[in-house]
Amino acid sequence: MGTLEERIVKSETHIFKAVFPSTTNHYDTLFGGTALHLMDEVAFICATRFSRKKVVTISTGQIDFKKAIPAGTLIELVAKVLSVGRTSCKIHVDIFMEQMYSELRETVVSGTFSFVAVDENKKPVPILDDLV
């Protein structure tokens, strides 16, 4: 399985999306709820890849929307393990926005999500077997 640090590095997760009009609000920018949905999804994938256990979202930390994301741009969501507890882990997620036809790339949304590992009865279990 590797060391904790190796598992953290290997579990980093990237998802790319194009921002289409079907995901935007009346201002023609990415709907905030859609951004949160995508962030929770990439954080879940990262937590699952890290632990290889069933995990559920238990909380979100502060989510900072630094800049609106207009239709017609590309976004990359990057999730990384920030910290690990006995049954839980905290994942940091950044959304980077890129212009389709230029090199401009900037961080536009950041936040944290916490997950707990659960068994078949939805009871918390150690997130990593070797951290018991």
CATH architecture for segment(s) 4-117: Roll (3.10)
CA separation for the pair 127, 132 (Å, rounded): 8
CB 96 within 8 A of CB 75: yes
* Predicted local distance difference test score (pLDDT) of residue 132: 45
User: pTM of the full predicted structure?
Assistant: 0.94
Buried b / exposed e along 72-104 (16+ C-beta atoms within 10 A): ebebbbbbbbeebeebbbbbbbbbbbeeeeeee
Dihedral sign, Cα of residue 1, residue 83, residue 126, residue 47: negative
Q: Is the pLDDT of residue 130 over 90?
A: no
- Candidates 9, 19, 3; CA nearest to 76 is 19
Distance CA 115, CA 87 (A): 8
| pLDDT for 74 beyond 90 | yes
pLDDT band at 30 (very low <50, low <70, confident <90, very high): very high
The percent of residues in the chain predicted with pLDDT above 90, rounded, is: 93
